[in-house]
Structure 1
């Protein structure tokens, strides 16, 4: 079985079945959902979707009046006063407000037209000229202003046609509102969506950055807790024990010797705890010998027999290598704690510029990434933060196959 046969990911950005996978409702590229209501299925002529579209079209008139007045006033006043010191700041402030109108219109389209348009990334917080220039060249705000200016005649038209259709053209009402709503969907997607793929990617990276920061903070808290509750507490007890042994050294040598022997055992335990903690931060065997040796060491500590196969042409950068190691570590911990398996296997290989790893077990199955206690949801988030993918195939009764994909980056 070749590497490509072992795993062919459906997406480089999200595992199948996740909220961001292609075809899921709410994803920008979904075939059913954002593109239009009821794609791929029949809808009732006078069903819920039709009445939601009617509501949207009737609300177009007041919404378009607000948007037109705001856009015309803010642009005309800002440009008209641009020869003065307050003109450009007023124009920039108007563009900032346009973003809020765009957010409201996207929310209205999501609620009534089932159009899932991603929110554009936030502008960087800055002051002075940086703030002014950032707002003046904001393409999202300018397109929202254009949306407001061209919507007034359309709002009047859709309000009038929809109202007449509801009152006098009842038999053709579903077809009329469906056509008008389709045009509205096109306007929303064309003028209120993020600027381009780069804009969407920036938004994704901002979310990923939050995940990375939260994960790093959680790891630091874990290390602090382990040090405080483990090695530090043991060393404090050791110091107290040695102090008592020193006091008894002359008056009761045998008791002092017993206390020193006990302290010697505590030292060994403290050293073992510190080694385990250091291994949890970054194991020395991974740094010195790479994934093959490090994963074999992990397999040796698992409660079930684990076979390891690593087929790599070299070593990826330290960060990717570390993420791969801790991914396998967490998956093997799940095998030990939850799978009730008799055996497991770990395979690692490279394919088309990606590092792939697969952990199998013959346990009871039922593993999910929906946060039901196995930690797979958090693991999927951490992998997604580095443009990775986690795919879980775990039917009830087993077996469980978890595949992770990471970008391959060569070492210098």
Structure 2
């Protein structure tokens, strides 16, 4: 489940200068809207109704399907144009369905059962042409009044007046605003001043008008061309199911590996220790010198078994991780590495990492350091851990392990990196591997998390 942050700063409304900065893009969007909408109407109406008329001879079905795909293209173009005009991106429908793209005929007739295609067709044939005529007309009229009013005093003097004018717009406005006035001034000057005032007012309001018309298209696109909330929920459920399966698989792999390591290591040594103790017991009275030699060997077996158990116990969360946090746990982990580790642990004390994130980050770091020491032939390792707040994408923990070994690391099935990849995927993160032959090897685990304070809210 995706948790929304409650401490996100409120969005600031754009200032007047910012509105003017977006005027060129919004004007280009609005002025091209009607030509594109009319072109879409002509193409879609022609193909759709032609296919509908020929549907009784079967061939028309393919023309109808073609019109639906064309409608999808015009709708996608509208979303791209809105994004270019500065509007927030509209989440698009999931066109590719794994259960529908099986064979030619299922792919061909998929639009008939996908409601988004019909909504795109409705947008291209009805909604967009009607709305575009209105917004395009307002755009042209408003821009014309703003430009003509503010520049008319320059070029109107060069236009022949013919037989003169009997109608002055400024007189009508003054009579409306000030009934019975007796103002007496040159009508040409009055008309010029009125046009300048009107042009300046329209020019000052121009950014708000363009923004409002663009937002109108954006709202329509979000309602008709955007993805449905049910689709987002369905994808979330599928992703969570896949993540849960990956986490279970990773945990099963880890348990099997731990079982194998215990069987091949400490268990064999403890069996050997038991046999040595039995032999010591038999020889203790008759051959004390031989018993003493076996006793020394038994002591070595016990020490080695203890060392192996300590090494295996690092796969569990150590007490230092619970008591002092991830930074201290990674410092302790790096200090025990047989290969020198350069540590760059930049996890703030107020990061409020959940326990499951700390535990998994510790396991991932331990596995990567072990792989670099055992298999990479590295002489130096760099461990870098940091957190970042990306705003809308939430908080992330970034863990990098870089070694100067032989390279060539890849997540082969059944091996350590594949298990790490499953573990990271189960946490809804991503594992990045860059390991060319000859080295160096760079492996990064990026894990999202919700701070404890936010999750508690």
Equivalent of 1:402, from 427, 437, 443?
A: 443
**Structure 1 residue 372: deviation in Å?**
8.5
Equivalent of 1:357, from 387, 399, 409?
A: 399
1:146-157 equivalences in 2 (<5 Å): none
**Structure 1 residue 113: deviation in Å?**
6.2
Which residue is 1:236 aligned to? 271
Call closer, same or farther: CA 1:221–1:312 in 2, change over 3 Å. same
Call closer, same or farther: CA 1:211–1:259 in 2, change over 3 Å. same
Please tell me whether residue 333 in structure 1 is matched to residue 333 in structure 2: no
Equivalent of 2:361, from 324, 328, 337?
A: 324
Equivalent of 2:251, from 216, 219, 242?
A: 216
Contact 1:309 1:347 in 2 (8 A): yes
**Structure 1 residue 291: deviation in Å?**
2.5
1:4-403 equivalences in 2 (<5 Å): 105-108=100-103, 195-314=230-349, 316-352=353-389, 353-369=395-411, 371=412, 375-395=416-436, 398-403=439-444
**Structure 1 residue 321: deviation in Å?**
0.8
Q: What SS does the corresponding residue of 1:246 show, helix, strand or coil?
A: helix
Alignment deviations for residues 317-338 of structure 1 (CA, whole Å, 9 cap, x no partner): 2211111112222222333345
Q: What SS does the corresponding residue of 1:325 show, helix, strand or coil?
A: helix
Alignment deviations for residues 183-233 of structure 1 (CA, whole Å, 9 cap, x no partner): xxxxxxx9xx99411111111111111111122222222222222222222
Call closer, same or farther: CA 1:215–1:311 in 2, change over 3 Å. same
Which residue is 1:29 aligned to? none
**Structure 1 residue 109: deviation in Å?**
5.9
Contact 2:407 2:437 in 1 (8 A): yes
Question: Tell me, which stretches of 5 or more residues in structure 1 are unaligned?
Answer: 1-56, 65-101, 118-142, 151-189
**Structure 1 residue 351: deviation in Å?**
0.8
CA distance in structure 1 between the partners assigned to 2:105 and 2:434 by the alignment: 32
Alignment deviations for residues 379-399 of structure 1 (CA, whole Å, 9 cap, x no partner): 223211111122234455544
Q: What SS does the corresponding residue of 1:281 show, helix, strand or coil?
A: coil
Call closer, same or farther: CA 1:392–1:232 in 2, change over 3 Å. closer
**Structure 1 residue 239: deviation in Å?**
1.8
Contact 1:334 1:374 in 2 (8 A): no
Call closer, same or farther: CA 1:280–1:145 in 2, change over 3 Å. closer
Q: What SS does the corresponding residue of 2:289 show, helix, strand or coil?
A: helix
Q: Which has the larger radius of gyration?
A: 2
Contact 1:347 1:357 in 2 (8 A): yes
**Structure 1 residue 290: deviation in Å?**
2.8
Contact 1:367 1:374 in 2 (8 A): no
CA distance in structure 1 between the partners assigned to 2:239 and 2:247 by the alignment: 12
Which residue is 1:54 aligned to? none
Q: What SS does the corresponding residue of 2:256 show, helix, strand or coil?
A: helix
Alignment deviations for residues 52-96 of structure 1 (CA, whole Å, 9 cap, x no partner): xxxxx97979xx9xxxxxxxxxxxxxxxxxxxxxxxxxxxxxxxx
Q: What SS does the corresponding residue of 2:103 show, helix, strand or coil?
A: helix
**Structure 1 residue 265: deviation in Å?**
1.6
Q: TM-score, normalised by structure 1?
A: 0.51
Alignment deviations for residues 261-283 of structure 1 (CA, whole Å, 9 cap, x no partner): 22122111121121112112233
Contact 1:368 1:374 in 2 (8 A): no
Call closer, same or farther: CA 1:406–1:146 in 2, change over 3 Å. closer
Q: What SS does the corresponding residue of 2:271 show, helix, strand or coil?
A: helix
CA distance in structure 2 between the partners assigned to 1:373 and 1:223 by the alignment: 14
**Structure 1 residue 259: deviation in Å?**
2.0
**Structure 1 residue 108: deviation in Å?**
3.1
**Structure 1 residue 312: deviation in Å?**
1.8
Contact 1:388 1:405 in 2 (8 A): yes
Contact 2:327 2:347 in 1 (8 A): no
